Structure 1
Amino acid sequence: MAKISRWWPGGLFLFILGLPSGAMAELSRMDDTDLAGVSGQGGIYLSGDISINELGGPIQNSYFGACGDEGKKCGARLAYRLKEDGGWFVLDDIRGSFSFEGLTLRVRHIDSGFGGDGELFNRDVVELGLPNVVRYHDVHFTVAASNTARPTDAGFQQTDLFSIEMQGDVTLEGNLLVFPTDSP
């Protein structure tokens, strides 16, 4: 028998015929009274494996290079200016990987609790359900201060404050609630 290596119209027909009869059930409309008796739960359940510059980023210059190059930074860089005319807060040399299972995201209504403030609030919030375990593998980053945003800018000077390396499992429990604020 010949091996079929691509879809062909007859193959789709045979696939549909092979479905169990329940898979071909017809959808029907529900009126409002029937729908009122249905309850459900909404939300998102996420699992992931995220890697950041494990071998170094795509930029090769006097500052960035491969992770094996002595004296070069190989990870990502984020710079934040805290004041309009101030210096820069920097997360530098960010690299490694982490994985998690069971991060949840849903909308929750708060109308009680919080020392009586929940009743006054009476609105929806975003609830992030923290995953039970986050696994870190060779995660590394440096916290620093800099006079410019980019290491290639003229007069660049950076002071590394401390470096963090993480390996292993971290247990997270609970939820993080994100409360909306009214914009001015």
Structure 2
Amino acid sequence: MSQAESLMRLDTRVSRRSNMLLEQGIGKPRRDKVCLGAFAFLFAEIIRYSQNRVLGIQDLEAKLGEIGRRVGVRVFELLMWREKTVHRETRVLQTLVFINTVVWRALFDKQADALGRSTENDDEYMITDNEPSILRYISAPKEMSSFSPGAFLAGVVEAIAECCECPARVTSHLVPAEDMPLKTVILLKFDREVMEREKRLEAGK
């Protein structure tokens, strides 16, 4: 068999596989999972691609957050389409529980490890993941020790909170602990209008 024939046969197999993927309905959840190694490689390339187009660490985190927000919108739309028992939450606590459980399970096949509220500021909440799978194979050089690749995940959460009509400023913080070097806290600071709406709704009960 000539090289040209081999390439044509390979191209046919790839095209057939692509057509099968495109023909699958989005309403039916797929049971197979993306290989973590493949995703880690893709995420590392996203970081490298972004790094080559920014001037500093803050810009890089902002770029990753922007990419994460685009992903978050699509994740939310897909979940609303697939999960017939799930409806869009518009209250702060219900939105946080939705992200902590439904969204985390859809993305990482597990719910987040903790959900808490700041003891100092009523408008701040925290979602904790002791070992985010997207960070497992990511390491920053010493000169970028302050870089938080979890900014991508913060962007995902920020987009979903906004889709639930609970806009917030979301940031990611690496807080290593014993036996948990990748422990990450996603901090949500909800807009003032959101908290005022919550107070009105509570008062109207």
* Structure that is richer in helix per residue: 2
More strand by share: 1
**Bucket of the pairwise TM-score, normalised by the shorter protein:** under 0.3
Question: Whose relative contact order is higher, 1 or 2, with alpha carbons under 8 Å and at least 6 apart?
Answer: 2
TM-score in terms of structure 2 length: 0.23
Q: Is the radius of gyration larger for structure 1 or structure 2?
A: 1
The TM-score with structure 1 as length reference comes to: 0.25
